[in-house]
Amino acid sequence: MSLLYSIDEPTVASTVSRIIVADADARTGEVLVDMLAALGYEASWCGTAHEVLSRCAEQRPDGVLSELELATPEGLPLIKALRRAHPGLAVGVVTGWLSPPPGSAALLGDLPVVAHKPLSLGDLDPLARALVTGGRARGTR
Cα dihedral 5/41/108/121 (nearest 10): -20
Q: Do you know the residue count of the chain?
A: 141
Structural domain contains residue 62: yes
Q: How many domains does the chain fold into?
A: 1
- Please report which confidence band the pLDDT of residue 103 belongs to, taking 50, 70 and 90 as the band edges: low
Q: Examine residue 4 and state whether it is found in any structural domain, yes or no.
A: no
Q: Which domain holds residue 52?
A: 18-138
User: pTM for the full model?
Assistant: 0.79
Residue 34 domain flag = yes
Residue 120 lies in a domain: yes
Give the pLDDT band of residue 10 (cuts 50, 70, 90).
Answer: very low
Instruction: Answer positive or negative: Cα dihedral of 64, 69, 74, 76.
Output: positive
Q: What is the pLDDT of residues 50-88, one digit of tens each?
A: 999 999 999 999 999 998 777 777 777 888 889 899 988
Q: Which CATH number fits the domain that encloses residue 40?
A: 3.40.50.2300
DSSP class of 71: B
Whether 5 maps to a domain, the answer reads: no
Residue 58 lies inside a defined structural domain of this protein: yes
User: Contact, 42 vs 17, CB < 8 A?
Assistant: yes
